[in-house]
Amino acid sequence: MSPNTTGALLMMASMASFTFNDALIKLTNGDVPLTQLLVLRGVLSVVLILALARWLGTIHFRISGRDWGLIALRSIAEVGAAYFFITALLNMPLANVTAVLQVLPLTVAVGAALFFREPLGWRRMSAILLGFMGMLLIVRPGPEGFSIYAGYALVAVACVTVRDLSTRRLSPGVPSMTVTLVAAVTVMICAGAASVTTEWVPIDTRLAALIGGASVFIIGGYFFSVQVMRVGEISFIAPFRYTGLIWALVLGWVVFDDWPSSVTLLGAAIVVATGLFTLYRERRLSQA
């Protein structure tokens, strides 16, 4: 397969993994404190990552100081994303919180222009501004429509933007499994430290199955999200991120009997359309 085809498949696998993880976490219904949930999922994830890395033989820690700094920044952003996103997820419909995340290609484009001095013409800038207007339709900032948890979802977007931008700056020789392991360990340690003041609850069979399944899917999400930023042309691959919204709509309807309002769907459509246009313009400019 070509690098672009491989990248597209990795992106779709990443989005499916993250969305199924989100659905399983949401099914816990807040019966487990968030910090305990992150610790338990983290322990299982680390064990599975180490087993997979041993089998594949694709992990080492001979990494330059520059790359360790980027990995540290990426891992801290992962901690913030986990906390804010899961808090929003437990209090918002799955499709709604996923729709907010669809603004990521726009925020990554802005971040790349600000920090990496990548060109950003007036057409893409106009599309990005229109996309942010679509995002406002999703979160509906007003006395009746806005929820504090929509704000949590927006903070999660900022954290994931930092994560993706730092991943793009990693050297090609840095193993993806190493990056994945460090992120999982960092989330687990931070959640463990925060859980000291939280009373843990017993885990029954249902919760154990949900957390175990979420651990498997989050590994796929971590690993594929690292790989996808390092294969092929990002302008070609990035549109496949929107498959996550399709999964969220289907799972939200089938599993949780939730369907977004027409205003939310309109906002999501605007965000997706402007994101696709932004990526199309980036691709045209890179070809030129």
Per domain, the residue ranges of the chain are 3-287
Helix (H) or strand (E) holding 254: helix 243-256
Dihedral angle sign, alpha carbons of residues 255, 81, 123, 280: negative
Q: How many CA atoms lie within 13 A of 227 on its CB side?
A: 21
Distance CA 132, CA 103 (A): 7
Please tell me what DSSP assigns to residue 142: S
171: left (phi over 0), alpha (psi -120 to 50) or beta: beta
Residues 83, 89 contacting (CB under 8 angstroms): no
pLDDT tens for the 288 residues of the chain, in order: 778 888 889 989 989 998 999 999 999 998 999 999 999 988 988 888 888 777 767 788 889 999 999 999 999 999 999 999 999 999 988 988 988 888 887 888 888 888 877 767 777 788 878 888 888 888 765 545 567 888 899 999 999 999 989 988 899 888 888 888 999 899 999 999 999 888 999 999 999 999 999 988 988 887 787 778 667 776 677 778 888 888 999 999 999 998 888 888 898 889 888 888 877 776 676 666
215 sits in the region (left: phi over 0; alpha: psi -120 to 50; else beta) called alpha
pLDDT of 75: 95
Q: What is the DSSP letter of 199?
A: -
Q: What is the pLDDT of residue 173?
A: 85
* Token pair listed for 1: 């397969």
> What are the DSSP calls for 50-82, one per residue?
HHHHHHHT-------HHHHHHHHHHHHHHHHHH
- How far is the C-alpha of 284 from the C-alpha of 213, rounded, in Å? 41
pLDDT of 74:
94
- The rounded distance, in Å, linking the Cα atoms of 139 and 45 is 32
Q: Are 123 and 281 in contact (CB under 8 A)?
A: yes
What pLDDT score does 110 carry?
Answer: 85
The amino acid at 48: L
Cβ proximity of 162 and 116 under 8 Å:
no
